[in-house]
C-alpha cells in the first residue's frame, strides 16, 4: 500500500500535477508516524562488523559482581542485577531495562550470546540500560554487559517465551482478535487458549505454530495466557501475556472506556515524544459556540460533561505546528489523541540533523545446498533439475524469509550479496557435502530457503524446479551462523489457482489492472516471498478476471513446510506503477494446492464528491465521498495535506459513514485554518477482523491486521 502511494507520485509528477505529488510524500509520512506502515525500514544501513570483544575484569566474581554487594545506587563496579521485564517473545524486538551498576555509554549487551544492536542500546544512567532484545531460542538466556575493561554476566537473566501474542492488550469487554505464534510448537485442533481462567472464543488453529481467537472479557491488569493441548493437557504459558485496560488503549490511544454516559474524557499526547500536549484546543462537535470546548491542562487533558454529551459524538483537537485530528461519530467515554508535530523549521523541527548514535549491524548465514543422490558423503549432481539447454544454465538462489509479505518496499530484506555474500549458487565450486553459499541477513529469527532451476543466460528468465528450506535459524547482530545445510528435496510440481470475485465498479480514473501475489507464511519465522535476482516469482498480472490467476511451481505444504500456509493478496490497481485508486484483499491460512481459491470481499474505491477532484472546498466544510459497490468497510481514515505541504488533518470515521466535517478553527488564538492553495486528501476504506469502531486505536493504522482496504488520493483548492 505504501508503495502504491510512492508510485502514484511518479504518475502525477509526469502529468504535471506537482502539488498532488508533493503532498503524497507528506501523506506517506503521516501514516509512517505511527510505524504501522513502514514495516522494517530500520533495516536500512545494516553493516556487518564483528562482534565486540569485551575484556573481563580479573576482580569479577562468578556472578559478575566484582566481589561487591549490589546496592543498585551509585555503584561504579560493573554488575548486572536483573532485566525488566524478565521474559519476552523468541522473535525479539521488544524493549526491556537492564538494571545493575557501573554502566557506561560504551556498554554492549548480549542476551543468550547474541548482541543487542548498539543503536538499540541506550544508557539511561549508571544503573539502567534500555535495550531492544535480539531473537533467541525459547528458554533461559544469560545476559552480559561488556564495556572497556569489564564484563559482567547474569546467568539465566532473561527467558525467551515459546509463544507470543499480538496484540498483547485489549479492552476489559473482550472481543480483541489476537494471534498466538509459537516456535517448535505443535498446535492442533482441540487446543484451548485461556486468559487467566477464562476461555478464548472462536479459536482457530491456523497451523502448528499459529492460533487465532477472540479474547474473553476480563478485569483491568495483566493475566497469564495459557495454550492447553487438547491431546495431553500440556501447557505453554505466557506470563502476564495480555493486559486488560478499561479506558482507551494507554499505549496506542484512540477510543475506549465504554459507552458515553454524560461525560467524555480527552487526553492529547505528542505522537513523537509521548509527552502530554498542554493548551491544545479541543471541541465537541463543530459548533464553536458550544460550552464543550477548551484548552487541555498541563497533563494534556480536558473533560466535557452534561446531559447533551451523548452519542454519536465527534471530537476535534488542534494546536499550532501540529496536524489536527478528529474522531467522528463515536460512542466511547475516553478519547486519547496523538497529535503529529510538523517537521517544519518554523516549529523548531526539521533541521535534517540526526542525533549522534551507534551503528546497526547485520549478520551472515553460510552453509551448503545439499542435493540428494547416491553419494552420501559428498556432493551429488543436480539431477532433480532438468539438464540445461543451450543458452540456459542450472542455478540456485538463497534467501531468507522476510518480516512481511509481498513487495512491500519498506519491509524488504537487505541485499544478500552485501559484504561479500554469495546468494547465487552454481554447480561449481563444490563443498564437503554440497554447494557453498553465504548471505547477508537481518538479525532475527527466520528460515533460510533456496530455489533451484533453469536460468536463461541472455534474458535472466528463471524457471524454478526445486526448493529447500532450513528452519528455525537465529542470527544476532554481527554474528555469522555457519553450517546451515539446505536440503534441496522439495519438488515444485504443484499449482495454486486464485479466482477473484465481487469486483466493485471502477471510478473515473481506475483501477484498470490486477496484481495477485501468493506467499508462504511460516508464522514467527516470517514469510517466504520467492525471488530470483530481486524479481518476484509468485506474482501474476492481468487486465481481467475472466479466468483464475495460476501460480505454477508451487511446493506441497508437507515436511519442512508442513506448518506453512499460503497468503494471497489480490490488488486492483491503476497504471503501470500499481498506483491509486486501488483496492486490495488478503486471504490467509490457505493449505490446499492443485485447487482453486476464491478471493472476494473487495471494498469499493472511494470517489470524492465534495469537493470533486480539483474543485474548491465545499462551503459547509464537510468532505464527502462515495463508492460503486464493494463490501462496507469497518473504518475510514481520512488524511489531508495543506497547501504549504504540512499535514493538515487526520480523521477517524466509521465505515458506515462517507463524510467527515472539518470545522474552521481559525478564530481560536494561535490556530490557523488549512493553508490555502492546492490541498490533497486521501481516503482509506479499511476492513479489520474483530473491529469495533468505538475501540479504534492508532494501532489499527498498521496494515498487518487489515484483511481488505481501498484508497484514492484527491486534490482540491482552498
Q: At which residue does the C-alpha cell 540526526 appear?
A: 354
Burial class (CB in 10 A: 0-12, 13-18, 19+), 6: middle
Euclidean distance between CA atoms 483 and 437, whole angstroms:
10
Give Cβ neighbours of residue 170 (< 8 Å, ≥ 6 apart). Answer: 176, 178, 215, 242, 243, 244, 245
CATH fold, domain 7-36+603-717, is Immunoglobulin-like (2.60.40)
Helix (H, G, I), strand (E, B), or coil: what is residue 404?
coil
- DSSP reduced 3-state for 617: coil
Q: pLDDT for 496-541, tens place per residue?
A: 999 999 999 887 788 999 999 999 999 889 999 998 877 889 999 9
Determine which helix (DSSP H) or strand (DSSP E) holds 3, and give its type and residue range.
helix 2-14
Q: Is residue 160 within 8 Å of 90, Cβ to Cβ?
A: yes
Residue 198 exposure: Cα atoms within 13 Å on the Cβ side: 17
Express each pLDDT in 6-64 by its tens digit: 233 223 223 333 333 444 444 555 555 554 444 454 444 565 544 433 333 333 333 33
Q: In angstroms, rounded to a whole number, what is the distance separating the alpha carbons of residues 591 and 566?
A: 6
Query: Which pLDDT score is estimated for 404?
Result: 86
Nearest to 94 by CA among 190, 205, 201, 168: 168
Is 254-341 CATH 4.10.95.10?
A: no
pLDDT for 710 equals 97
| Cα–Cα distance for residue pair 420/439, rounded to 1 Å | 8
Q: In CATH terms, are 7-36+603-717 and 173-245 the same topology?
A: yes
Is 373 strand, coil or helix?
A: coil
C-beta separation of 608 from 509 below 8 A: no
- Residue indicated by cell numbers 548514535: 357
CA distance 57 to 150: 5
Cβ burial of 302 (10 Å; 0-12, 13-18, 19+) is buried
C-alpha R_g of the chain:
27
Helix runs in 490-624, H state only: none
- Considering all CA atoms of the chain, what is the largest pairwise distance in Å, rounded to the nearest integer? 87
**Cross-strand pairs, 622:** 661
Q: Which residues pair with 631 in a beta bridge?
A: 603
- As a whole number of angstroms, the distance between CA 349 and CA 341 comes to 8
DSSP letters for 5-62: HHHHHHHHHHTT-HHHHHHHHHHHHHHHTTSTT-TTGGGTT-B-PPPP-----TT--T
Q: Which class in CATH covers the domain with range 79-161?
A: mainly beta
- Cell readout for 71 is 546496592
d(C-alpha 263, C-alpha 261), whole Å = 6
Helix (H, G, I), strand (E, B) or coil at 608: strand
- List, in sequence order, every residue forming a beta bridge with 338; answer none if it has no partner: 269
The burial of 718, by beta-carbon neighbours within 10 Å (0-12 exposed, 13-18 middle, 19 or more buried), is given as middle
Residue 18, phi then psi, degrees to nearest 5: -65, -30
Q: What distance in Å separates the CA atoms of residue 427 and residue 394, rounded to the nearest whole number? A: 7
Which residues, 6+ apart, have CB-to-CB distance to 307 below 8 Å? Answer: 262
- Looking up cell 493553508 gives 675
Angstrom distances, CA of residue 20 to CA of 10, 176, 442, 624, 678: 10, 37, 35, 19, 8
Residue identified by cell 540500560 is 129
pLDDT of residue 304: 97
DSSP 8-state assignment for residue 523: G
Q: CB of 653 within 8 A of CB of 306? A: no
Strand-by-strand arrangement of the 301-305 sheet = 254-256, 334-339, 263-270, 301-305
**385: which DSSP letter?**
S
Question: 220 and 196 in contact (C-beta within 8 Å)?
Answer: no
DSSP secondary structure string for all residues of 177-225: EEEEEESS----TT-EEEETTEEPEEEEEEETTEEEEEPPP--SEEEEE
Estimate the crossing angle of helix 2-14 against helix 18-32, to 10 degrees: 170
At 376 the pLDDT is 85
Predicted TM-score (pTM) of this structure = 0.85
> What are residue 449's DSSP bridge partners?
399, 469
CA 685 to mean position of chain CA atoms: 19
- Collapse the DSSP code of 686 into the 3-class scheme (helix H, G, I; strand E, B; otherwise coil) and give the result: strand
Please give the Cα distance from 480 to 48 (Å, whole number). Answer: 9
Residue 464 has a pLDDT of 96
Tell me what pLDDT residue 506 has.
Answer: 86
Please list the ranges in the chain whose pLDDT falls under 50. 1-26, 35-39, 41-44, 49-74, 350-356
d(CA 27, CA 5): 8
With DSSP H G I counted as helix, E B as strand and the rest as coil, what are the percentages for the chain, rounded to 5? 10, 45, 45
How many CB atoms neighbour CB 463 within 10 A? 17
Calculate the CA 478 to chain-centre distance: 24
What is the spatial distance between Cα 494 and Cα 314, in angstroms, rounded to a whole number?
53
Write down the CATH number for the domain with range 173-245. Answer: 2.60.40.10
Counts of helices then strands in the chain (DSSP H, E): 2, 52
Cβ–Cβ under 8 Å, residues 448 and 470: yes
Every domain of the chain and the residues it spans: 7-36+603-717, 79-161, 173-245, 254-341, 363-591
Quote the cell numbers at residue 158.
532473561
Please report where in the chains the cell 542435493 appears, as a residue. 371
- β 596-599/494-500 pair status: parallel
Nearest to 227 by CA among 193, 188, 256, 269: 193
Cα separation of 628 and 606, whole Å? 8
If residue 4 lies in a helix (H) or strand (E), which one and from where to where?
helix 2-14
Q: Which residues contact 174 (CB under 8 A, 6 or more apart)?
A: 214, 215, 216, 217, 218
- Rounded-to-integer distance, Cα 649 and Cα 52, Å: 46
Which of 716, 700, 717 is CA-nearest to residue 251? 700
Q: How far is CA 160 from CA 93, 112, 166, 179, in A?
A: 12, 9, 16, 18
Amino acid at each position: 500500500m505504501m508503495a502504491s502511494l510512492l508510485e502514484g507520485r511518479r504518475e502525477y509528477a509526469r502529468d504535471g500535477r506537482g502539488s498532488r505529488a508533493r503532498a503524497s510524500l507528506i501523506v506517506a509520512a503521516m501514516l509512517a508516524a505511527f510505524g504501522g506502515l513502514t514495516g522494517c525500514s530500520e533495516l536500512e544501513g545494516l553493516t556487518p562488523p564483528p562482534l565486540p570483544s569485551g575484556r573481563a575484569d580479573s576482580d569479577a566474581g562468578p556472578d559478575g559482581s566484582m566481589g561487591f554487594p549490589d546496592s543498585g545506587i551509585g555503584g561504579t563496579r560493573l554488575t548486572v542485577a536483573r532485566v525488566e521485564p524478565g521474559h519476552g517473545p523468541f522473535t525479539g524486538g521488544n524493549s526491556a531495562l537492564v538494571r545493575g551498576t557501573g554502566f557506561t555509554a560504551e556498554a554492549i549487551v548480549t542476551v543468550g550470546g547474541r548482541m543487542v544492536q548498539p543503536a538499540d542500546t541506550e544508557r539511561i544512567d549508571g544503573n539502567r540500560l534500555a535495550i531492544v532484545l535480539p531473537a533467541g531460542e525459547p528458554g533461559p538466556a544469560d545476559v552480559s554487559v561488556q564495556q572497556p575493561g569489564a564484563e559482567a554476566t547474569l546467568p539465566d537473566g532473561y527467558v525467551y517465551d515459546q509463544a507470543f501474542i499480538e496484540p498483547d492488550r485489549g479492552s476489559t469487554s473482550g472481543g480483541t482478535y489476537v494471534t498466538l505464534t509459537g516456535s517448535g510448537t505443535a498446535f492442533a485442533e482441540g487446543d484451548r487458549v485461556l486468559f487467566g481462567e477464562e476461555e478464548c472464543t472462536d479459536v482457530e488453529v491456523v497451523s502448528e505454530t499459529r492460533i487465532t481467537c477472540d479474547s474473553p472479557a476480563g478485569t483491568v491488569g495483566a493475566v497469564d495466557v495459557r495454550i492447553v493441548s487438547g491431546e495431553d493437557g500440556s501447557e505453554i504459558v505466557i506470563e502476564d501475556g495480555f493486559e486488560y485496560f478499561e479506558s482507551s488503549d494507554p499505549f496506542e490511544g484512540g477510543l475506549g472506556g465504554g459507552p458515553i454516559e454524560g461525560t467524555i474524557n480527552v487526553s492529547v499526547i505528542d505522537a513523537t515524544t509521548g509527552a502530554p500536549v498542554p493548551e491544545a484546543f479541543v471541541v465537541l462537535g463543530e459548533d464553536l459556540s458550544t460550552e464543550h470546548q477548551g484548552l487541555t491542562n498541563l497533563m494534556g487533558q480536558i473533560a466535557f460533561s452534561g446531559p447533551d454529551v451523548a452519542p454519536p459524538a465527534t471530537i476535534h483537537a488542534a494546536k499550532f505546528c501540529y496536524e489536527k485530528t478528529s474522531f467522528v461519530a463515536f460512542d466511547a467515554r475516553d478519547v486519547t489523541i496523538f497529535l503529529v508535530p510538523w517537521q517544519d523549521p518554523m516549529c523548531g523541527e526539521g533541521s535534517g540533523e540526526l542525533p549522534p548514535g551507534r551503528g546497526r549491524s547485520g549478520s551472515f548465514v553460510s552453509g551448503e545446498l545439499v542435493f540428494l543422490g547416491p553419494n552420501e558423503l559428498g556432493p551429488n549432481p543436480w539431477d532433480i533439475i532438468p539438464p540445461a539447454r543451450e543458452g540456459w544454465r542450472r542455478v540456485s538462489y538463497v534467501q531468507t524469509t522476510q518480516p512481511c509479505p509481498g513487495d512491500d518496499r519498506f519491509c524488504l530484506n537487505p541485499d544478500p550479496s552485501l559484504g561479500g555474500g554469495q546468494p547465487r549458487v552454481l554447480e561449481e565450486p563444490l563443498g564437503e557435502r554440497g554447494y557453498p553459499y553465504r548471505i547477508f541477513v537481518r538479525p532475527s529469527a527466520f528460515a533460510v530457503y533456496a530455489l533451484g532451476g533453469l536460468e536463461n543466460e541472455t534474458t535472466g528468465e528463471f524457471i524454478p524446479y526445486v526448493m529447500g528450506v532450513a528452519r528455525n535459524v537465529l542470527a544476532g547482530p554481527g554474528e555469522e551462523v555457519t553450517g546451515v545445510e539446505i536440503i534441496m528435496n522439495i519438488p515444485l510440481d504443484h499449482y495454486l489457482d486464485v479466482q477473484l470475485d465481487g469486483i466493485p465498479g471502477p471510478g473515473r480514473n481506475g483501477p484498470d489492472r490486477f496484481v495477485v501475489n501468493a506467499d508462504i507464511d511460516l508464522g514467527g519465522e516470517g514469510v517466504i516471498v520467492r525471488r530470483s535476482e530481486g524479481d518476484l516469482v509468485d506474482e501474476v498480472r492481468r487486465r481481467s478476471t475472466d479466468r483464475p490467476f495460476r501460480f505454477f511451481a508451487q511446493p506441497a505444504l508437507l515436511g519442512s513446510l508442513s506448518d506453512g500456509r499460503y497468503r494471497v493478496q489480490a490488488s486492483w490497481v491503476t497504471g503501470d506503477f500499481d498506483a491509486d485508486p486501488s483496492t486490495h484483499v488478503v486471504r490467509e491460512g490457505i493449505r490446499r494446492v492443485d485447487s482453486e481459491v476464491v478471493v472476494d470481499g473487495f471494498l469499493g474505491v472511494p470517489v470524492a464528491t465534495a469537493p470533486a477532484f480539483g474543485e474548491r472546498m465545499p462551503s459547509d466544510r464537510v468532505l464527502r465521498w462515495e463508492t460503486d459497490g464493494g463490501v462496507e468497510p469497518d473504518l475510514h481514515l481520512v488524511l489531508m495535506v495543506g497547501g504549504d505541504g504540512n499535514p493538515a488533518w487526520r480523521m477517524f470515521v466509521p465505515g458506515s459513514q462517507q463524510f467527515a466535517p472539518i470545522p474552521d478553527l481559525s478564530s481560536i488564538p494561535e490556530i490557523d485554518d488549512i493553508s490555502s492553495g492546492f490541498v490533497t486528501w486521501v481516503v482509506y476504506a479499511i476492513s479489520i477482523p474483530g473491529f469495533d469502531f468505538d475501540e479504534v486505536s492508532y494501532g489499527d493504522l498498521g496494515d498487518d491486521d487489515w484483511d481488505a482496504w481501498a484508497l484514492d488520493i484527491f486534490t482540491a483548492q482552498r
